Structure 1
Amino acid sequence: MIDRIWHGWTMPADADEYERLLREEILPSFANADNEGYRGARLLRRESDADGDDEEVEFVTILRFDSIESVREFAGEEYREAHVPDAAREVLKRYDDRARHYEVREEREYPADDS
């Protein structure tokens, strides 16, 4: 299993629109693409922190694939390069120009404590 991790930042005023694009357009388009090795996505959002960093809102997308070959099928031979749709570029302040790929070595989930 491979996780493809990428970061993008918006101005606070653009954060909700970027999240909407991701939820309603961009991530669903990945699921609808013809790639049997794509296994889903996780979206993370970080607002300003205790240090007063309120100039930007950070987003992290984590896409999950069966293999690096599935990543290549998704992103092409230059699979390390970020693929940022034009609509997203309009609301992003900045973003990583490359995605990073990690081999998932272990994953654990624990049930919630119902007590």
Structure 2
Amino acid sequence: MPVKRIWHGWTTPENANAYETLLKTFVFPSIEAKKVAGYRSIELLRRPLEDEVEFITVMTFDDLDSVKAFVGEDYETVYVPDRARAILKRFDDRSQHYELIETRHY
């Protein structure tokens, strides 16, 4: 059963564009370069708040074994490269995982 891996990070409004660019040009390509069997996709969500900007990544894997191949046996471990940590204001210290039950397209 497919698994969605969800993670949240927050930046200051001043760092939001730089962080988005870093994700698109460095973090996501570094994930793809790992060529993890069972990794299917990553989605990026962005939401401005009063004094910070929230980012959410949603990764799709075939199953938990695929997630473990990505980050190890402790599969809730986050993947946040140092370059990203330097821009982030704060972030989840653990990723959440959900079984994908159904997707409907209209």
TM-score by length of 1: 0.88
Instruction: Give SS of 2:86's match.
Output: helix
In structure 1, what residue type is equivalent to 2:78? Answer: A
In structure 2, the residue matched to 1:26 is: 27
Instruction: Give SS of 2:35's match.
Output: coil
Gaps of 5+ in 1: 49-53, 111-115
In structure 2, what residue type is equivalent to 1:60? Answer: I
In structure 1, the residue matched to 2:7 is: 6
Gaps of 5+ in 2: none
Q: Distance in 2 between matches of 1:89 and 1:35?
A: 23
Count of matched residue pairs: 105
1:44 equivalenced with 2:45 (yes/no) = yes
Which has the larger Rg? 1
User: Cα RMSD between the aligned structures?
Assistant: 0.8
Runs of 4 or more consecutive aligned structure 1 residues displaced over 6 Å after TM superposition: none
Q: Distance in 2 between matches of 1:39 and 1:83?
A: 16
2:75 is aligned, of 79, 92, 102, to 79
TM-score by length of 2: 0.95
* CA deviation after TM superposition for structure 1 residue 100, in Å: 0.2
Q: Distance in 2 between matches of 1:100 and 1:43?
A: 15
